[in-house]
Structure 1
Amino acid sequence: MPDIVITEFMDAPSVARLAERFDTVYDPGLAERAERIPRLLARARALVVRNRTSVTDELLAEAPRLRIVGRLGVNLDNIDLAAAEARGVTVVPAVGTGDDSVAEYVVAMVLHLLRGAYAATGEVAGGAWPRTRLIGREASGKTLGLVGYGAVARKTAARARALGMTIAAFDPFVPAGDPAWGDATRAETLPALLAAADAVSLHVPLTEATRHLVDAAALSAMRPDAVLINAARGGVVDEAALAGALRAGTIAGAALDVFEVEPLPRSAGAVFADCPNLVLTPHIAGVTEESNARIGAMIANAVISSLEGNA
């Protein structure tokens, strides 16, 4: 039976480092075959997951020797933290490793949605020449509104400033006098931020307080020429309300990298049919070749330290 079980994709060098030291099962498809995981954990001392493996109290009960759960990412809503703590299992997320990737994704989506000209390949190749219709807007001089002003939002802000954008943010957990605000404008309320921004990017975890934070009312507070990006967590945006707002022209565009149900099933995805100026991506904002290597290295180091340090 293995010492380490890895249930989702991890970069090859990090898997190789673990396999050199310990009996390791690496099967990135195990998240879709969850019924096979408990048997593999009978003698395992480490479990490595991303966001599609549910680490419940019931699963932890099948792993009496487990010492560490490595999360190849940041958000921990798929892991029962209280159950892990009660069983003496350390949970280690890959904090900070995907921040640059997410920040670049957000800025790229802002540019894409404001310009509105980058999906015309088929038309142009087919002989059309829609120049007038595809006259878009520059990011320079526009306001980027950030909902949440943690590490990723601040890296996003730095990149947006380099393009000439003004930064505003709403985050009640960052006090007004905090030096982190720098030259960013601190919005007192979420509606105030939404009303002021040309582009809105979400940077909050999914909690009871943030579920459907961006609902029909919030979308109606946005400007009709504004765009929305969510690379934070699915469920923060009311997807049906967003689809309605795009069709009605309440907002001008949106990019979603995360969804309430993942992978997004065809039935749920149907709500977005015929929505204009919409980009959907498969929870990939924080995963690049570079970030994947950083994530894997951090979690491999944590697993090695845990298993070799307490052998």
Structure 2
Amino acid sequence: MPLIYVTSPIHETILSRLAEIGEVRLGYGPHAVAYEAIHNQVDAVFLRGGRISAEMIAASPKLKIVARHGAGYDNVDCEAAADHGVWVTNTPGANQRSVVEHVFALLLSLCRKLPLASEQTRNLIWAEDRLSLTGIELEGRTLGLVGFGNIGSSVAPVAEAFGMKVIFTDPAIDPGSDRRWVDFDTLLSTADVVSLHVPLLQTTRNLIGAPEFAKMKTGAMLINTSRGGVVDEQALVDALKRGKLAGAGADVLAAENIDMINPFAHATPDIANTPNLIVTPHVAGQTDESLLRVGMSALEAIAAVLEGRAPAHPVNQPVAKSLG
């Protein structure tokens, strides 16, 4: 039977289904096996957390596929995988609804000061300083979407249902195709809320930094559920502390690219201790429903490759090995 390595916890239904098509070894839990201990036997990697480097791929002669549990694949050396005949796949759109809802969970928490309100009530403070909890409404405000792919375009109708005006910028979309399209600088200077929905590429690394914060409206908010490296986090902390931004919500940190298990050990100082910044631990796409959808998509990719078929959502093109 082919050997399938699962790096991090996944939906139990998916784990059971994987066991039907191969021998499963886990990289987590009480019986965790280090990848290095079995690299020469592994046929497929089901990658949720962690990284698959060029060195790991080169040391895995039987490896046929690295199936990402999610849309992002910056934690896999896709070029090295292609050179060694290894497919890399992702699961575009499978966690779309969950991420969209998390965008508004962060935004509404900021607008209604829910973390502060919860902290005060936990400390048995009820009405002493209620004015400090005065929030703002979304209706009539402008949401600027940076990136208008599967997730960004799905955020738009939810925002419009709240009564928000939506604008977006995306270099892949013809400016004349949608009246809501604006250039990047116009979006920054116009939006009350900027929400990021772009992959982490060389062209998007530190896409939002000190110059961009300077262009934003004083009192604007930033939501980032894409990738941590898209935002210069020191510039973000500075903008929040000096009151340029009213608040920010981040589900991702740049330090995840260094350590996905404990990014705070490498993170920007004060990133978790700035009062008007809400940080969640990369859980925007983590609902029971989305874990099942994402897991099934990754499982189907592994099954296809192990059966000698091309997967549905490849992000590279293997050149050194034939299928099967």
The TM-score, its normalising length taken from structure 2, stands at: 0.87
Give structure 1 regions of 4+ aligned residues with deviation exceeding 6 angstroms. none
Match in the other structure for 2:100: 103
* 1:274 Cα deviation from its structure 2 partner: 4.8
1:152-177, Cα deviation, whole Å (9 max, x unpaired): 00111121111111101111221123
Match in the other structure for 1:187: 182
Contact 1:7 / 1:29 at 8 angstroms: preserved in 2? no
Distance across 1 between alignment mates of 2:238 and 2:29: 35
Q: 1:122 to 1:84 in 2, by over 3 A?
A: closer
* 1:45 Cα deviation from its structure 2 partner: 1.4
- Which of 156, 166, 191 is residue 197 of structure 1 equivalent to? 191
Question: Which amino acid in 1 is paired with 2:252?
Answer: V
Q: 1:121 to 1:265 in 2, by over 3 A?
A: closer
Distance across 1 between alignment mates of 2:62 and 2:267: 39
Residue 38 of structure 2 is aligned to residue 40 of structure 1: yes
Q: 1:85 to 1:272 in 2, by over 3 A?
A: closer
Match in the other structure for 2:119: 122
* 1:134 Cα deviation from its structure 2 partner: 1.6
Question: Which amino acid in 1 is paired with 2:181?
Answer: R
1:46-103, Cα deviation, whole Å (9 max, x unpaired): 11112422x2221112211111111001111111111111222111111111111111
Match in the other structure for 1:133: 132
* 1:218 Cα deviation from its structure 2 partner: 0.7
Match in the other structure for 1:240: 234
Match in the other structure for 2:225: 231
SS at match of 1:185: coil
* 1:25 Cα deviation from its structure 2 partner: 0.6
Distance across 2 between alignment mates of 1:11 and 1:117: 30
Q: 1:22 to 1:235 in 2, by over 3 A?
A: same
Gaps of 5+ in 1: none
Q: 1:166 to 1:42 in 2, by over 3 A?
A: same
1:249-302, Cα deviation, whole Å (9 max, x unpaired): 011000111111123224625323652321011111111111111111111122
Count of aligned pairs: 302
* 1:133 Cα deviation from its structure 2 partner: 2.0
Gaps of 5+ in 2: 257-261, 310-323
* 1:127 Cα deviation from its structure 2 partner: 3.3
Distance across 2 between alignment mates of 1:99 and 1:243: 28
Q: How does 1:1-311 map to 2 (within 5 A)?
A: 3-28=3-28, 36-53=34-51, 55-124=52-121, 126-129=124-127, 130-178=129-177, 181=178, 185-188=180-183, 190-262=184-256, 263-266=262-265, 268=267, 270-272=269-271, 274-309=273-308
Distance across 1 between alignment mates of 2:171 and 2:21: 45
Distance across 1 between alignment mates of 2:269 and 2:48: 26
Contact 2:70 / 2:294 at 8 angstroms: preserved in 1? yes
Q: 1:207 to 1:21 in 2, by over 3 A?
A: closer
More displaced, 270-279 or 192-201? 270-279
Distance across 2 between alignment mates of 1:90 and 1:159: 35
Distance across 2 between alignment mates of 1:170 and 1:10: 34
Distance across 2 between alignment mates of 1:76 and 1:19: 24
1:100-125, Cα deviation, whole Å (9 max, x unpaired): 11111112222221222453133235
The TM-score, its normalising length taken from structure 1, stands at: 0.90
| Identical residues among aligned pairs (%) | 38
Greater relative contact order structure (CA < 8 Å, 6+ sep): 2
Question: Which amino acid in 2 is paired with 1:61?
Answer: A
